[in-house]
């Protein structure tokens, strides 16, 4: 059985060799398994791709891809999966936080017949800011992406080749890998793993990148559009109630002023209907965008131990 290990790399010149060699060691302990590496350099500022080239010379099963610009972690993962050929595909980080020593735990679980296994941390070593962001993403993915309530996601996952074949059919230029997973299967399991501290450098996730990742959720959900429609209905209903209250008040007390209350009623009714109509139009626009967006997810400049594939789908 072949495991394709896909790793998006960003400024990981100092860590990627250790990640690869430790992972090879762990896979060698698994009877009946072999591995290949798909390392994607996401336009790093250091000499990450040069190190990937050296690894490719040292190990024929190490394959490298150099992207023409920074496309983001999830686009880099999609790129790697397009080149993966294994029976299983393993996603992990380039900084040893998702430690290779935990790989056998994921493999053992997926052998039980699951399509996707996430490794989740017993005790996170992340900062409070990072944990808060993770919590927010967890809530958002539950509401917007339909993530099963009992499932937690992470950057350490293992999927079958069948899931991989479905995932790479998605061609939107702003992918969110977990969203595609949840759209593909609900036969998912969690296993507890140890969370190791980052050995080298600092996280490459800026606030802008986190915001872009969160915005990618909209590619998989029409919930915000439906929420706008719902708010429109509620607002219009409040307008009708206010109108009835104003009329009753005038009937009970003919001297009661109706100028300002009646104006508020009209505004509420029309504003509510406006939101409703915009929500309905948004439904159609959202579906059209999902269907016709064909901007490339990634553009490959160079490869190591691979033939370059087209990025146009």
3-state SS of the chain? CEEEEEEEECCCCCCHHHHHHHHHHHHHCCCCCEEEEEEEECCCCCCHHHHHHHHHHHCCCEEEEEECCCCCHHHHHHHHHHHCCCCEEEECCCCCCCCHHHHHHHHHHHCCCCCEEEEEECCCCCCHHHHHHHHHHHHHHHHHCCCCCCCCCCCCEEEEHHHHHHHCCCCCCCCCHHHHHHHHCCCEEEEEECCCCCCCCCCCCCHHHHHHHHHHHHHHCCHHHHHHHHHHHHHHHHHHHHHHHHHHHHHHCCCCCCHHHHHHHHHHHHHHHHHHHHHHHHHHHHHHHHHHCCCCCCCEEEEECCCCCCCCC
How confident is the model at residue 148, as a pLDDT? 73
Extents of the domains making up the chain: 2-221, 223-292
The model's pTM is 0.73
Domain 2-221 has CATH 3.90.550.10: yes
Residue-level pLDDT, tens digit, the chain, 313 residues: 999 999 999 999 999 999 999 999 999 999 999 999 999 999 999 999 999 999 999 999 999 999 999 999 999 999 999 999 999 999 999 999 899 999 999 999 999 999 999 999 876 555 555 555 656 666 665 666 667 778 888 899 999 999 999 999 988 777 889 989 988 999 999 999 987 766 665 555 555 656 655 566 666 666 666 676 777 777 777 777 877 877 777 677 777 666 666 677 677 777 777 777 777 677 667 667 766 766 788 999 999 999 755 554 4
Give me the pLDDT at residue 163, please: 98
């Amino acid at each position: 059985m072949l495991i394709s290990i896909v790793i998006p790399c960003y400024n990981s010149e100092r860590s990627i060799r250790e990640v690869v060699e430790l992972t090879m060691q762990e896979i060698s302990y698994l009877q009946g398994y072999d591995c290949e590496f798909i390392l994607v350099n996401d336009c790093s500022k250091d000499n990450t791709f040069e190190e990937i080239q050296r690894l490719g010379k040292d190990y024929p099963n190490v394959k490298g891809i150099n992207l023409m610009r920074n496309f983001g972690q999830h686009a880099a993962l999609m790129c790697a999966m397009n080149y993966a050929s294994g029976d299983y595909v393993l996603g992990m980080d380039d900084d040893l936080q998702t430690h290779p020593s935990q790989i056998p735990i994921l493999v053992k679980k997926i052998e039980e017949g699951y399509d996707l296994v996430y490794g989740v941390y017993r005790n996170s070593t992340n900062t409070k800011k990072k944990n808060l962001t993770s919590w927010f993403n967890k809530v958002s993915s539950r509401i917007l992406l339909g993530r099963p309530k009992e499932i937690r996601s992470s950057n350490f996952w293992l999927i079958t080749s069948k899931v991989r074949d479905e995932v790479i059919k998605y061609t939107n230029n702003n992918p969110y890998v977990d969203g595609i997973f949840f759209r593909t299967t609900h036969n998912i399991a969690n296993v507890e793993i140890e969370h190791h501290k980052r050995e080298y450098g600092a996280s490459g996730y800026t606030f802008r990148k986190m915001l872009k990742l969160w915005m990618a959720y909209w590619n998989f959900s029409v919930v915000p559009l439906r929420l706008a429609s719902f708010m429109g209905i509620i607002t219009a209903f409040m307008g009708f109630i206010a109108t009835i209250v104003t009329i009753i008040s005038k009937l009970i007390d003919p001297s009661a002023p109706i100028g300002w209350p009646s104006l508020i009623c009209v505004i509420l009714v029309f504003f509510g209907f406006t939101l409703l109509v915009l929500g309905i139009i948004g439904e159609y626009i959202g579906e059209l965008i999902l269907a016709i967006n064909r901007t490339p997810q990634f553009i490959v400049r160079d490869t190591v131990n691979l033939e370059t594939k087209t990025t146009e789908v």
